[in-house]
Structure 1
């Protein structure tokens, strides 16, 4: 039997397998000394011994998390999000965004370099490298690599992805997840539900779309694209655009997990980067 005889004021420690464990773990919440007693019996005699276990506070640098590299277009605003960063000790953190490098001729500035979430305006095409330093007041954490933004010229070859009737292109890659509940309506049950509508535009070069996939991970229904088909190779000619929809049959009141994805390239089939990808996921329910 393991017992805690003494502990720091205000502490609520716990011993795992307190009554039966030959090897146990002590979980503490406050630095200091803990006096632990072990009592052992074979049914005839009882022996005990004590040991003092000391825990000391060690400050650890914050862990910095930012988003992955993105493609943008000149004149877009790029968000910078450091909200995934955390401090292992639970300390209050401060933030400092800064450019590691900018394209020649750029006068870009970070809107609020001390904010957890901020942004900057892409004024010229090229590669922007942005980093984030997070401090707990004593130690500072930085990401292993900067956050890269490749900005395409308005006049150069690039791909535009538009949502619904929006005229502002999306940053790439496009990766979003939605919750859609169509059970809270008095309308008749639809034969199909359009979950999303997008337009892809080829600027300066043909865009080749491949790796098209629509999946229900729970195998309840069969989602599909309208505008092209799975495993099809689609070419959007230079200067043209193509609108497509993400469609699902009704789920009969069941919640399902849908995903729609594809990749594209300005250089032919299969020659796509990690940023030239589309992924939309849905937690979807309908009558």
Structure 2
């Protein structure tokens, strides 16, 4: 059985149970009429029935055009003895008339339950009540249609005009127009249906008078036009799966309209398309449909086409025929939103560009895998909180898509599996007095449940008063007052109380932290012949008088013969005696430990060849060459990997030879790897022949960023 069939079968069972309560409350005077035992045809039984009567129809094919009477219930799916009802095993078909027209004509306060309804077609004699040949035709009545298979009708599966209707748990497929068509101020709830392969929209709201709709928990698949076309309706569209339709997944225009917690994927046009915002005549404010908590992926046009307004807390991925995933690029972002949005506005609106991690989309299983970015990422307002676990995952906060929010149908959970605790510890040395970060965010639950955390110190040196900053959070900090070996434990527990095996990690804390070497910033560039004054003294960092200093040249021009005046003081000097770049290194000693070395590059304005500077032959880094360059210089960068971020603040030609790599390191910041900002739109400059990578992880962490400049790239 396919995933979609399982979903639909559950929906039928769930809702039939609810409707049994209604049947038990029927008045005592109601009669039960059997077809064919009491009457040979369905219409004959209807003519004999009174309000509140139930007509039970045994399995078989009934080639007649049904005209209902007010207040009766028509039930199919009974066996020939009327002892057992099974609508799947006991197929009961209302096949329409050879004369054409509708198959079933509704009446007020009627229930149609458990039939195959087919055979609606253009009438031979154009009766005024049968002009278009739908499966079910209803006008100006209250009607309930549930648990039917409505297929093979010439026009719509169900046609409603000015009706109050409940359409629940039907399969509506292969009809000549819409699966469901409604118009002229109808008020309709469409719940738990599968609507597929109809020749126009799955659900189509037409006319010129707004209807009121609640469309919830339906599957709308492979309809020739939109999954839902609600251009002439207000209301709610929630927790639906709209996939593989020929036009938009969901289309709406009027307000108020909430489109929430739908999964919209693989439709030929936009995922969700709404009209331009309209002016509310009572408030004079612009109003647009509210679009939130949806997952919208792989649609042929924009994920959301809404003129740049009305949406928040949605996940979009690979819409507008984008091959691959490029969330860091502005063009990718705008293709997801029909030409609108940038990274700043995207962050403000809380929309996400990411793979939703469906369980098996190839088999139409759009449940979320544990770890999906859509879990707990919907609108945090408690009115959108998840209610049923499963299918929802994680904490109570809204899961985006069909299986999140308070209206997701409950599902049986798979067997609960123990969560797994993991501890991430920085790969470095640790010292007394530091706050050592312990991270449990890689802990996981195979069922996707929310986890609670419990940290503990299992072992510490004798006399130690080591503490954890937050023993019940995902991350905690260990503060140690004694050197030696420490062992830390973590257990995690899922929302049902199932606990992981303990995860432990050991670390050695050193009592003596080494000093820090720090060379004060230099004024660069300088001229050949200048005396360079170095300094390691920084009163904000350390007391230089308590340290021993060790200065040396790591690199200097081959022709240089310069030396330090005194390499063991805090403030030595040297004379720049030849053009080029001098790399100096400082290490300090506090009587117990040496520091890690610090280095600085001091470069001359003059170059070996006028107008040209070569990296790394003359200058160890690209930035050191840029800092000393004059306007219009050439900076030649030979092959290699240069792990640095560079700022080009003057007009130069930056030329790579044999594709050198500039790698900004990809840190968690907004820094570009190459930032060009010489603020001159008239002159060019050049950046040529590089591989540029490693921009920061923030929204402005570009590979190459250009501000008010006009280089040739």
Structure with bigger RCO (C-alpha 8 Å, 6+ apart): 1
Give me the TM-score of the superposition, normalised by structure 2.
Answer: 0.21
Q: Flag the structure with larger Rg.
A: 2
Question: Structure 1 or 2: larger strand share?
Answer: 1
Question: Structure 1 or 2: larger helix share?
Answer: 2
